[in-house]
Structure 1
């Protein structure tokens, strides 16, 4: 099994359940509020760890109670947290997630110490990247840090997986050049290419435009419609596992983590996609981010 390094965000999620999303100017009564360990980077590292992968994480938390909760939760599933810095006087990142009865969600991120994941912090933990075979990143840490890590990883011959969320418009082609896999959902892909994408043909065109920017492989997750894989000369659709969604929070993170884990085990890209879909299909039937991630035994069942 190959080594995986996750570089990214750690957030304490405050999850608010509502009947439906409030409209502008509307006051709406929620049904519950809970706090759950989250952050796209931490979710992905936690998922790899819970699925028994070999994973280390680089990130930053504050010297506060939420930071300790997040780090200890990663430790509980075997994640190596030696690359997570505790910033004196810093405030750990937070996310406020509104989940409606249908399972759909909207998210507001407060970066906090995630903004402290700088080039200097990466340089202090360069050995983690050197020892890893697969690098997973997201866009909840500074973009210049993501690009710096990508360039370092490419020079070292690592496999680079980027979950481009939250999506950012008008990034230069140089940002994308050399990335092995990106995993946007259809909304994020639309933002990346700068135009609406309605229908599978338009989504395929959008994915192909990312190939022209230098990405080697594009995985577009389509929710309950499945996943579209696009590479040079290849387009393949993978239908979704049919389940009743309760909360889609962290479903994409589960997919990314499980996909990377399968690659680390020597699985083909297609096999890794199917495994990612299985893990994500279980996660959406449960509430929360890291609390929704299944164990290997549950996946086997």
Structure 2
């Protein structure tokens, strides 16, 4: 099995259940609130670890109780946390997530320590990159750091998987060049390309635009419709099994983690996508981020 390195964010999620999302200026009564370890990077590392992967995480938390909880949670699924820095004078990242009765969410992220994941921190942990085979990143740490890692990884011939969320518009083409896989959802692909997409043809065109920028493969997650797979050789919609949706938080992160884990076992892209869909299909049936991620026994 190949080694996976996740470089990214760690957040404590405040998950608020509400009948519906409030409109601007409106007050809505919530029904429940929970504190759940999250952050796109931590979610991906936790999922890959819980599913049996050889996973290390590189990131930062504050020297606070939320940081303690984040590290304990990753340790519980055998994620190597030697690359996670404890920073004085800065709080652990936080996210405020509202989830409506249909299980759809909206999220506000406060970066905190995640904003301190700098090129200097990467240089201090270069051995982790050297030891890894697959590097997973997101965009909840500084974009400049993501680009810096990508350029190092390409030179060292590491596989790079980017979950481009939260999506950032107008990134230069050289940011994308050399990335092996990106996994946006439909909304994120619209932000990355700067155009609205309402049909399958438009989604394919948007994915091909990302290929033109230098990405090798694009996988667009489409919720209950499955996902769109586009490379220079082929394009196709891969359907998924419909399940009752409770909360979509961490569904995309668990897909990315399971996809990477499958590739670390040297399985095909089709098998990796199917595994990602299977895992994320379980995640959406449960509440929360890391609390919703299944282990191997549950998958079986």
> Is the TM-score greater than 0.5?
yes
Q: Report the secondary structure of 1:29's partner residue.
A: coil
Q: Report the secondary structure of 2:288's partner residue.
A: coil
TM-score by length of 2: 0.99
Q: CA deviation at 1:298?
A: 1.0
- Map 1:53-202 to 2 at 5 A: 53-202=53-202
The aligned residue for residue 36 of structure 1 is 36
Structure 2 unaligned residues grouped into runs of 5+? none
1:71-90: CA deviations, max 9, x gaps? Answer: 11000000000000000121
Structure 1 unaligned residues grouped into runs of 5+? none
Distance 1:236 1:68 in 2: 43
- Map 1:273-284 to 2 at 5 A: 273-284=273-284
The aligned residue for residue 18 of structure 2 is 18
Distance 2:298 2:241 in 1: 15
1:203-249: CA deviations, max 9, x gaps? Answer: 01000000000000000000011000000021021101110000000
Distance 1:112 1:237 in 2: 38
Q: Report the secondary structure of 2:68's partner residue.
A: helix
The aligned residue for residue 3 of structure 1 is 3
The aligned residue for residue 255 of structure 2 is 255
Larger mean CA deviation between 177-186 and 19-28 belongs to 19-28
1:52-96: CA deviations, max 9, x gaps? Answer: 100000000000000010011000000000000000121000000
Distance 1:99 1:250 in 2: 12
Distance 1:259 1:199 in 2: 25
Distance 1:186 1:200 in 2: 10
Distance 1:271 1:52 in 2: 17
Larger mean CA deviation between 143-152 and 232-241 belongs to 232-241
Pairwise CA RMSD of aligned residues?
Answer: 0.5
Q: Report the secondary structure of 2:255's partner residue.
A: helix
Q: Report the secondary structure of 2:81's partner residue.
A: strand
Distance 1:47 1:197 in 2: 30
The aligned residue for residue 51 of structure 2 is 51
Distance 2:43 2:155 in 1: 27
TM-score by length of 1: 0.99
Q: CA deviation at 1:5?
A: 0.1
Q: Size of the alignment, in residue pairs?
A: 300
Moved over 2 A (4+): none
The aligned residue for residue 244 of structure 1 is 244
Q: Report the secondary structure of 2:144's partner residue.
A: helix
1:245-264: CA deviations, max 9, x gaps? Answer: 00000000000000000000
- Map 1:206-217 to 2 at 5 A: 206-217=206-217
Q: Report the secondary structure of 2:256's partner residue.
A: helix
Q: CA deviation at 1:184?
A: 0.0
Q: Report the secondary structure of 2:36's partner residue.
A: strand
1:260-299: CA deviations, max 9, x gaps? Answer: 0000001000100000000000000000000000011111
